[in-house]
Protein backbone atom coordinates (compact mmCIF):
# COMPACT_ATOMS: atom_id res chain seq x y z
CA UNK A 1 0.00 0.00 0.00
CA UNK A 2 2.83 2.38 0.92
CA UNK A 3 4.51 1.72 -2.43
CA UNK A 4 1.34 2.63 -4.32
CA UNK A 5 0.91 5.85 -2.32
CA UNK A 6 4.53 6.84 -2.95
CA UNK A 7 4.26 6.05 -6.67
CA UNK A 8 1.15 8.21 -6.98
CA UNK A 9 3.05 11.06 -5.33
CA UNK A 10 6.04 10.55 -7.67
CA UNK A 11 4.03 10.24 -10.88
CA UNK A 12 1.89 13.26 -10.02
CA UNK A 13 5.11 15.23 -9.70
CA UNK A 14 6.48 14.33 -13.11
CA UNK A 15 3.39 13.78 -15.23
CA UNK A 16 1.92 16.36 -17.56
CA UNK A 17 -0.94 14.09 -18.54
CA UNK A 18 -3.51 16.07 -16.63
CA UNK A 19 -4.11 19.80 -16.58
CA UNK A 20 -4.25 21.65 -13.29
CA UNK A 21 -5.73 25.08 -12.87
CA UNK A 22 -3.12 27.67 -13.86
CA UNK A 23 -2.34 30.14 -11.10
CA UNK A 24 -2.71 33.21 -13.29
CA UNK A 25 -3.73 35.42 -10.39
CA UNK A 26 -1.65 33.58 -7.80
CA UNK A 27 -4.66 32.47 -5.70
CA UNK A 28 -3.94 32.46 -1.98
CA UNK A 29 -6.94 30.19 -1.52
CA UNK A 30 -4.78 27.17 -2.36
CA UNK A 31 -3.06 27.56 1.02
CA UNK A 32 -5.25 25.81 3.57
CA UNK A 33 -5.63 26.78 7.20
CA UNK A 34 -4.05 23.47 8.15
CA UNK A 35 -0.93 24.28 6.11
CA UNK A 36 -0.78 27.72 7.66
CA UNK A 37 -0.94 26.40 11.21
CA UNK A 38 2.35 26.60 13.01
CA UNK A 39 4.04 28.76 10.37
CA UNK A 40 5.63 32.03 11.48
CA UNK A 41 3.70 35.26 10.92
CA UNK A 42 6.06 38.09 10.08
CA UNK A 43 5.67 41.43 8.34
CA UNK A 44 8.36 40.82 5.72
CA UNK A 45 10.10 37.88 4.10
CA UNK A 46 13.29 38.40 2.11
CA UNK A 47 14.09 35.66 -0.40
CA UNK A 48 17.19 35.52 -2.57
CA UNK A 49 17.86 33.40 -5.66
CA UNK A 50 21.48 32.60 -6.43
CA UNK A 51 21.86 31.94 -10.15
CA UNK A 52 19.47 32.62 -13.03
CA UNK A 53 19.76 29.50 -15.14
CA UNK A 54 16.58 27.70 -16.17
CA UNK A 55 15.39 26.77 -12.66
CA UNK A 56 16.59 29.98 -11.01
CA UNK A 57 14.82 32.11 -13.64
CA UNK A 58 11.58 30.16 -13.25
CA UNK A 59 11.47 30.48 -9.47
CA UNK A 60 12.65 34.09 -9.36
CA UNK A 61 10.18 35.21 -12.04
CA UNK A 62 7.22 33.55 -10.36
CA UNK A 63 8.21 34.92 -6.95
CA UNK A 64 8.84 38.36 -8.47
CA UNK A 65 5.42 38.41 -10.09
CA UNK A 66 3.88 37.44 -6.76
CA UNK A 67 5.79 40.14 -4.89
CA UNK A 68 4.83 42.71 -7.53
CA UNK A 69 1.13 41.83 -7.55
CA UNK A 70 0.53 41.46 -3.82
CA UNK A 71 2.06 44.06 -1.53
CA UNK A 72 0.14 43.21 1.64
CA UNK A 73 -1.85 40.13 2.53
CA UNK A 74 -2.79 38.74 5.92
CA UNK A 75 -2.00 35.20 4.80
CA UNK A 76 1.61 35.95 3.86
CA UNK A 77 4.27 38.51 4.73
CA UNK A 78 5.32 41.28 2.37
CA UNK A 79 7.69 39.60 -0.04
CA UNK A 80 11.08 40.98 -1.11
CA UNK A 81 12.84 39.00 -3.84
CA UNK A 82 16.27 39.50 -5.35
CA UNK A 83 18.54 37.48 -7.61
CA UNK A 84 22.32 37.40 -7.75
CA UNK A 85 24.10 36.77 -11.05
CA UNK A 86 27.60 37.00 -12.49
CA UNK A 87 29.00 40.44 -13.26
CA UNK A 88 29.46 39.58 -16.95
CA UNK A 89 25.85 38.42 -17.25
CA UNK A 90 24.59 41.55 -15.53
CA UNK A 91 26.58 43.81 -17.84
CA UNK A 92 25.37 42.19 -21.06
CA UNK A 93 21.77 41.86 -19.86
CA UNK A 94 21.43 45.46 -18.62
CA UNK A 95 23.02 46.89 -21.76
CA UNK A 96 19.74 46.23 -23.54
CA UNK A 97 17.11 48.93 -23.93
CA UNK A 98 14.76 47.25 -21.44
CA UNK A 99 16.13 44.16 -19.64
CA UNK A 100 13.51 41.53 -18.84
CA UNK A 101 12.99 37.98 -17.63
CA UNK A 102 10.46 35.88 -19.55
CA UNK A 103 8.91 32.45 -19.06
CA UNK A 104 7.37 30.88 -22.15
CA UNK A 105 5.05 27.94 -21.58
CA UNK A 106 1.28 27.75 -21.62
CA UNK A 107 1.46 31.55 -21.46
CA UNK A 108 4.17 34.18 -21.43
CA UNK A 109 5.08 35.70 -18.06
CA UNK A 110 7.44 38.66 -17.97
CA UNK A 111 9.21 40.89 -15.48
CA UNK A 112 10.51 44.15 -16.95
CA UNK A 113 13.36 45.98 -15.22
CA UNK A 114 14.89 49.41 -15.00
CA UNK A 115 18.60 49.78 -14.28
CA UNK A 116 19.25 51.76 -11.11
CA UNK A 117 21.02 55.08 -11.56
CA UNK A 118 24.26 53.73 -10.06
CA UNK A 119 24.02 50.73 -12.43
CA UNK A 120 24.46 48.33 -9.52
CA UNK A 121 20.97 46.82 -9.62
CA UNK A 122 18.08 46.24 -11.99
CA UNK A 123 14.71 46.84 -10.35
CA UNK A 124 11.25 45.86 -11.55
CA UNK A 125 9.28 48.88 -12.68
CA UNK A 126 7.14 50.20 -9.81
CA UNK A 127 8.32 47.36 -7.56
CA UNK A 128 11.52 48.22 -5.67
CA UNK A 129 11.12 45.00 -3.67
CA UNK A 130 12.10 42.91 -6.75
CA UNK A 131 15.63 43.33 -8.08
CA UNK A 132 18.62 41.66 -9.75
CA UNK A 133 22.26 42.46 -8.94
CA UNK A 134 25.71 40.91 -8.65
CA UNK A 135 27.41 39.61 -5.51
CA UNK A 136 30.16 42.17 -6.08
CA UNK A 137 27.63 44.97 -5.57
CA UNK A 138 26.49 43.90 -2.12
CA UNK A 139 29.21 45.38 0.05
CA UNK A 140 27.17 48.29 1.40
CA UNK A 141 24.02 46.46 2.43
CA UNK A 142 22.65 47.91 5.64
CA UNK A 143 21.23 46.18 8.67
CA UNK A 144 17.66 44.97 8.13
CA UNK A 145 18.08 43.93 4.50
CA UNK A 146 19.53 40.48 5.21
CA UNK A 147 17.92 37.51 3.51
CA UNK A 148 15.69 35.12 5.44
CA UNK A 149 15.90 32.45 2.74
CA UNK A 150 18.34 31.81 -0.12
CA UNK A 151 17.53 29.49 -3.02
CA UNK A 152 20.80 28.08 -4.36
CA UNK A 153 20.11 27.40 -8.05
CA UNK A 154 23.66 27.06 -9.35
CA UNK A 155 25.05 23.80 -10.72
CA UNK A 156 25.89 21.10 -8.18
CA UNK A 157 29.60 21.31 -8.95
CA UNK A 158 29.58 25.03 -8.05
CA UNK A 159 27.43 24.89 -4.90
CA UNK A 160 30.09 24.04 -2.28
CA UNK A 161 32.44 26.76 -3.51
CA UNK A 162 29.65 29.34 -3.72
CA UNK A 163 28.39 28.60 -0.20
CA UNK A 164 31.93 28.73 1.17
CA UNK A 165 32.49 32.10 -0.53
CA UNK A 166 29.24 33.46 0.91
CA UNK A 167 30.26 32.37 4.40
CA UNK A 168 33.72 33.88 4.14
CA UNK A 169 33.07 37.10 2.22
CA UNK A 170 29.33 37.81 2.04
CA UNK A 171 27.97 36.55 5.33
CA UNK A 172 26.30 39.92 5.90
CA UNK A 173 23.88 39.17 3.03
CA UNK A 174 22.01 36.55 5.05
CA UNK A 175 20.59 36.57 8.55
CA UNK A 176 22.64 34.61 11.06
CA UNK A 177 20.10 31.76 11.00
CA UNK A 178 19.00 32.03 7.35
CA UNK A 179 17.63 29.01 5.48
CA UNK A 180 19.57 27.94 2.36
CA UNK A 181 17.66 25.66 -0.02
CA UNK A 182 19.71 23.59 -2.50
CA UNK A 183 17.67 23.41 -5.72
CA UNK A 184 19.88 21.37 -8.04
CA UNK A 185 20.62 17.97 -9.56
CA UNK A 186 22.63 15.37 -7.66
CA UNK A 187 22.46 14.65 -3.93
CA UNK A 188 23.82 18.02 -2.83
CA UNK A 189 26.70 18.84 -0.49
CA UNK A 190 27.27 21.52 2.13
CA UNK A 191 30.73 22.60 3.36
CA UNK A 192 31.40 22.33 7.08
CA UNK A 193 30.62 25.38 9.20
CA UNK A 194 33.57 27.01 10.92
CA UNK A 195 34.40 25.51 14.30
CA UNK A 196 33.21 27.27 17.42
CA UNK A 197 30.17 28.97 15.85
CA UNK A 198 27.06 28.51 17.99
CA UNK A 199 24.33 26.33 16.49
CA UNK A 200 21.84 29.21 16.63
CA UNK A 201 24.22 31.34 14.56
CA UNK A 202 24.63 28.76 11.80
CA UNK A 203 22.79 28.84 8.51
CA UNK A 204 20.12 26.19 8.12
CA UNK A 205 20.04 24.01 5.01
CA UNK A 206 17.23 22.28 3.16
CA UNK A 207 17.15 19.97 0.17
CA UNK A 208 14.93 20.86 -2.76
CA UNK A 209 13.81 18.64 -5.62
CA UNK A 210 11.74 20.14 -8.41
CA UNK A 211 10.02 18.48 -11.34
CA UNK A 212 9.50 21.77 -13.12
CA UNK A 213 11.71 21.90 -16.20
CA UNK A 214 13.08 24.64 -18.40
CA UNK A 215 15.32 25.35 -21.37
CA UNK A 216 17.30 28.59 -21.62
CA UNK A 217 16.97 30.17 -25.06
CA UNK A 218 19.22 33.01 -23.96
CA UNK A 219 19.86 34.66 -20.62
CA UNK A 220 16.55 35.89 -19.22
CA UNK A 221 14.36 33.86 -21.59
CA UNK A 222 13.30 30.33 -20.58
CA UNK A 223 10.91 27.87 -22.20
CA UNK A 224 9.19 25.97 -19.39
CA UNK A 225 7.86 22.43 -19.22
CA UNK A 226 5.63 21.08 -16.48
CA UNK A 227 5.35 24.48 -14.79
CA UNK A 228 1.64 24.10 -14.08
CA UNK A 229 1.82 20.43 -13.04
CA UNK A 230 5.35 19.74 -11.82
CA UNK A 231 5.87 19.68 -8.08
CA UNK A 232 8.68 20.90 -5.84
CA UNK A 233 9.62 19.05 -2.66
CA UNK A 234 11.42 20.52 0.36
CA UNK A 235 12.98 18.72 3.33
CA UNK A 236 15.59 19.31 6.04
CA UNK A 237 19.09 18.65 4.78
CA UNK A 238 20.17 15.25 6.05
CA UNK A 239 22.64 16.09 8.83
CA UNK A 240 24.10 12.97 10.47
CA UNK A 241 22.92 12.59 14.05
CA UNK A 242 20.36 15.37 13.92
CA UNK A 243 17.46 12.97 13.33
CA UNK A 244 18.13 11.23 16.66
CA UNK A 245 16.85 13.11 19.67
CA UNK A 246 19.41 11.46 21.95
CA UNK A 247 22.37 13.76 22.69
CA UNK A 248 20.72 16.65 20.83
CA UNK A 249 20.80 19.89 22.81
CA UNK A 250 17.84 22.19 23.37
CA UNK A 251 19.49 24.78 21.13
CA UNK A 252 19.82 22.24 18.31
CA UNK A 253 16.17 21.23 18.62
CA UNK A 254 15.02 24.85 18.53
CA UNK A 255 17.32 25.47 15.55
CA UNK A 256 15.75 22.56 13.66
CA UNK A 257 12.22 23.69 14.63
CA UNK A 258 12.87 27.18 13.27
CA UNK A 259 14.24 25.67 10.06
CA UNK A 260 11.10 23.56 9.63
CA UNK A 261 8.91 26.63 10.18
CA UNK A 262 10.80 28.53 7.48
CA UNK A 263 10.40 25.61 5.07
CA UNK A 264 6.65 25.58 5.60
CA UNK A 265 6.51 29.35 5.09
CA UNK A 266 8.50 28.98 1.86
CA UNK A 267 6.13 26.23 0.72
CA UNK A 268 3.20 28.58 1.30
CA UNK A 269 4.92 31.29 -0.74
CA UNK A 270 5.64 28.81 -3.55
CA UNK A 271 2.00 27.72 -3.58
CA UNK A 272 0.84 31.32 -3.72
CA UNK A 273 3.15 31.87 -6.70
CA UNK A 274 1.65 28.91 -8.54
CA UNK A 275 4.58 26.58 -7.77
CA UNK A 276 3.13 23.34 -6.40
CA UNK A 277 5.07 22.36 -3.31
CA UNK A 278 5.14 19.79 -0.52
CA UNK A 279 7.34 19.46 2.57
CA UNK A 280 8.79 16.00 3.26
CA UNK A 281 10.79 14.53 6.11
CA UNK A 282 14.48 13.73 5.63
CA UNK A 283 13.93 10.02 4.93
CA UNK A 284 11.30 10.69 2.28
CA UNK A 285 13.58 13.25 0.67
CA UNK A 286 16.48 10.80 0.50
CA UNK A 287 14.31 8.48 -1.59
CA UNK A 288 13.14 11.41 -3.74
CA UNK A 289 16.71 12.66 -4.27
CA UNK A 290 17.94 9.22 -5.26
CA UNK A 291 15.06 8.69 -7.65
CA UNK A 292 15.72 11.98 -9.37
CA UNK A 293 19.44 11.19 -9.42
CA UNK A 294 18.68 7.92 -11.23
CA UNK A 295 16.30 9.69 -13.64
CA UNK A 296 19.04 12.19 -14.48
CA UNK A 297 21.68 9.45 -14.75
CA UNK A 298 19.49 7.59 -17.23
CA UNK A 299 18.53 10.60 -19.37
CA UNK A 300 21.31 13.19 -19.27
CA UNK A 301 24.41 11.24 -20.38
CA UNK A 302 22.55 9.35 -23.12
CA UNK A 303 20.92 12.52 -24.48
CA UNK A 304 24.28 14.32 -24.32
CA UNK A 305 26.05 11.58 -26.28
CA UNK A 306 23.24 11.50 -28.84
CA UNK A 307 23.42 15.32 -28.99
CA UNK A 308 19.63 15.29 -28.92
CA UNK A 309 16.71 16.39 -26.70
CA UNK A 310 15.44 14.26 -23.82
CA UNK A 311 12.89 12.34 -25.89
CA UNK A 312 15.73 10.65 -27.75
CA UNK A 313 16.44 8.25 -24.88
CA UNK A 314 13.03 6.63 -25.36
CA UNK A 315 13.03 6.62 -29.16
CA UNK A 316 15.21 3.61 -30.05
CA UNK A 317 15.77 0.09 -28.77
CA UNK A 318 19.46 0.81 -28.17
CA UNK A 319 18.89 3.91 -26.03
CA UNK A 320 16.13 2.19 -24.05
CA UNK A 321 18.43 -0.77 -23.37
CA UNK A 322 21.12 1.61 -22.13
CA UNK A 323 18.61 3.24 -19.76
CA UNK A 324 17.68 -0.17 -18.35
CA UNK A 325 21.33 -1.00 -17.64
CA UNK A 326 21.93 2.36 -15.95
CA UNK A 327 18.91 1.86 -13.70
CA UNK A 328 19.89 -1.69 -12.71
CA UNK A 329 23.33 -0.55 -11.60
CA UNK A 330 22.04 2.56 -9.82
CA UNK A 331 19.44 0.58 -7.85
CA UNK A 332 22.14 -1.85 -6.74
CA UNK A 333 24.24 1.04 -5.40
CA UNK A 334 21.21 2.63 -3.69
CA UNK A 335 20.41 -0.68 -1.98
CA UNK A 336 23.97 -0.89 -0.64
CA UNK A 337 23.56 2.62 0.78
CA UNK A 338 20.32 1.49 2.46
CA UNK A 339 18.15 3.83 0.43
CA UNK A 340 14.55 2.70 0.11
CA UNK A 341 13.40 3.93 -3.30
CA UNK A 342 9.81 2.90 -2.55
CA UNK A 343 9.26 1.57 -6.06
CA UNK A 344 10.13 -1.41 -8.22
CA UNK A 345 12.73 -1.48 -10.98
CA UNK A 346 9.97 -1.67 -13.60
CA UNK A 347 8.12 1.32 -12.14
CA UNK A 348 11.28 3.42 -12.07
CA UNK A 349 12.09 2.65 -15.71
CA UNK A 350 8.53 3.54 -16.71
CA UNK A 351 8.83 6.82 -14.82
CA UNK A 352 12.11 7.64 -16.59
CA UNK A 353 10.62 7.19 -20.05
CA UNK A 354 7.59 9.24 -18.98
CA UNK A 355 9.87 12.07 -17.84
CA UNK A 356 11.88 11.85 -21.07
CA UNK A 357 8.74 12.18 -23.19
CA UNK A 358 7.10 14.86 -21.04
CA UNK A 359 10.25 17.00 -21.22
CA UNK A 360 10.92 15.85 -24.78
CA UNK A 361 11.97 19.22 -26.19
CA UNK A 362 14.33 19.99 -23.32
CA UNK A 363 18.07 19.95 -23.93
CA UNK A 364 19.47 18.32 -20.80
CA UNK A 365 21.59 20.48 -18.50
CA UNK A 366 24.70 18.38 -19.15
CA UNK A 367 24.55 19.08 -22.88
CA UNK A 368 23.81 22.75 -22.28
CA UNK A 369 26.64 23.21 -19.75
CA UNK A 370 29.60 21.52 -21.44
CA UNK A 371 28.85 18.19 -19.74
CA UNK A 372 30.38 19.35 -16.45
CA UNK A 373 27.54 18.08 -14.25
CA UNK A 374 28.39 14.45 -14.95
CA UNK A 375 30.39 14.03 -11.71
CA UNK A 376 27.41 14.94 -9.53
CA UNK A 377 25.13 12.48 -11.32
CA UNK A 378 26.74 9.50 -13.05
CA UNK A 379 29.96 10.06 -11.10
CA UNK A 380 28.04 9.68 -7.84
CA UNK A 381 26.73 6.26 -8.89
CA UNK A 382 30.17 5.09 -10.06
CA UNK A 383 31.83 6.27 -6.83
CA UNK A 384 29.17 4.51 -4.76
CA UNK A 385 29.68 1.33 -6.75
CA UNK A 386 33.44 1.37 -6.09
CA UNK A 387 32.88 2.04 -2.40
CA UNK A 388 30.52 -0.92 -2.02
CA UNK A 389 32.11 -3.27 -4.52
CA UNK A 390 29.14 -3.06 -6.89
CA UNK A 391 29.94 -3.27 -10.63
CA UNK A 392 28.70 -0.25 -12.62
CA UNK A 393 30.18 -0.83 -16.11
CA UNK A 394 27.49 1.05 -18.05
CA UNK A 395 27.70 4.12 -15.84
CA UNK A 396 31.50 3.98 -15.94
CA UNK A 397 31.45 3.88 -19.74
CA UNK A 398 29.02 6.81 -19.95
CA UNK A 399 31.16 8.77 -17.49
CA UNK A 400 34.30 8.16 -19.55
CA UNK A 401 32.60 9.09 -22.82
CA UNK A 402 31.17 12.33 -21.42
CA UNK A 403 34.58 13.24 -19.98
CA UNK A 404 36.18 12.54 -23.37
CA UNK A 405 33.53 14.65 -25.06
CA UNK A 406 34.20 17.47 -22.62
CA UNK A 407 37.96 17.26 -23.16
CA UNK A 408 37.52 17.27 -26.94
CA UNK A 409 35.23 20.30 -26.73
CA UNK A 410 37.77 22.16 -24.58
CA UNK A 411 40.58 21.25 -27.00
CA UNK A 412 38.58 22.58 -29.94
CA UNK A 413 37.79 25.82 -28.14
CA UNK A 414 41.47 26.33 -27.27
CA UNK A 415 42.57 25.52 -30.82
CA UNK A 416 40.08 27.90 -32.39
CA UNK A 417 41.05 30.71 -30.02
CA UNK A 418 44.72 30.36 -30.94
CA UNK A 419 44.31 30.03 -34.70
Q: Quick check: is 352 in a domain?
A: yes
In this structure, the answer to whether residues 217 and 290 fall within a common structural domain is no
**CATH code (residue 356):** 1.10.1040.10
Q: What is the pLDDT of residues 201-231, one digit of tens each?
A: 578 889 898 888 888 899 999 999 878 888 8
Q: Quick check: is 414 in a domain?
A: no
Q: What is the pLDDT of residue 368?
A: 47
In this structure, the answer to whether residues 274 and 361 fall within a common structural domain is no
If we measure between CA atoms, which residue out of 233, 144, 240, 187 comes closest to residue 381? Answer: 187
Give the domain extent around 318. 286-407
In this structure, the answer to whether residues 261 and 131 fall within a common structural domain is yes
In this structure, the answer to whether residues 310 and 266 fall within a common structural domain is no
Q: What is the pLDDT of residue 310?
A: 83
Q: What percent of the chain has pLDDT over 70?
A: 73
| Sequence-separated (6 or more) residues with CB below 8 Å from residue 301 | 326, 366, 374, 377, 378, 398, 399, 401, 402
**CATH code (residue 227):** 3.40.50.720
In this structure, the answer to whether residues 21 and 55 fall within a common structural domain is yes
The count of domains in the chain is 2
In this structure, the answer to whether residues 66 and 195 fall within a common structural domain is yes
In this structure, the answer to whether residues 276 and 391 fall within a common structural domain is no
Q: Quick check: is 413 in a domain?
A: no
Q: What is the pLDDT of residues 223-259, one digit of tens each?
A: 998 788 888 999 987 654 444 444 557 777 776 788 8
Enumerate the β-bridge partners of residue 150: 48, 180
In this structure, the answer to whether residues 211 and 271 fall within a common structural domain is yes
In this structure, the answer to whether residues 235 and 322 fall within a common structural domain is no
In this structure, the answer to whether residues 33 and 164 fall within a common structural domain is yes
Q: What is the pLDDT of residues 302-342, one digit of tens each?
A: 988 888 888 888 889 999 999 999 999 999 999 999 999 88
In this structure, the answer to whether residues 301 and 369 fall within a common structural domain is yes
In this structure, the answer to whether residues 127 and 216 fall within a common structural domain is yes
If we measure between CA atoms, which residue out of 291, 151, 265 comes closest to residue 207? Answer: 151
Q: What is the pLDDT of residues 59-78, one digit of tens each?
A: 999 999 999 876 545 578 88
Q: What is the pLDDT of residues 11-46, one digit of tens each?
A: 455 443 332 323 333 333 333 333 433 444 458 899
**Among 184-193, 310-319, 384-393, whose mean pLDDT is lowest?**
184-193
If we measure between CA atoms, which residue out of 188, 192, 219 comes closest to residue 206? Answer: 188
Amino acid sequence: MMLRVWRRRWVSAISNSRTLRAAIHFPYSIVTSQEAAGSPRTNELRVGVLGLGAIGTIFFTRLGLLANEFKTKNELPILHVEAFIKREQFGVWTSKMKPKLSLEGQRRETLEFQVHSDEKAAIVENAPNVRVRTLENTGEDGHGNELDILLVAVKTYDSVGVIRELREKKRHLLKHDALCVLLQNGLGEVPQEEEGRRIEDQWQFASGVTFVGGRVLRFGRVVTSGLETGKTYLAPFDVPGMEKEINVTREEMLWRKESDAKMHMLARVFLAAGLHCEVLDANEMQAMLWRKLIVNAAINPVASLLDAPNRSVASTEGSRHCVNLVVQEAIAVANCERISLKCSYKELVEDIFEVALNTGANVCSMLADLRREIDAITGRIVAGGKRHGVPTPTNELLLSLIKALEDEGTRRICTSSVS
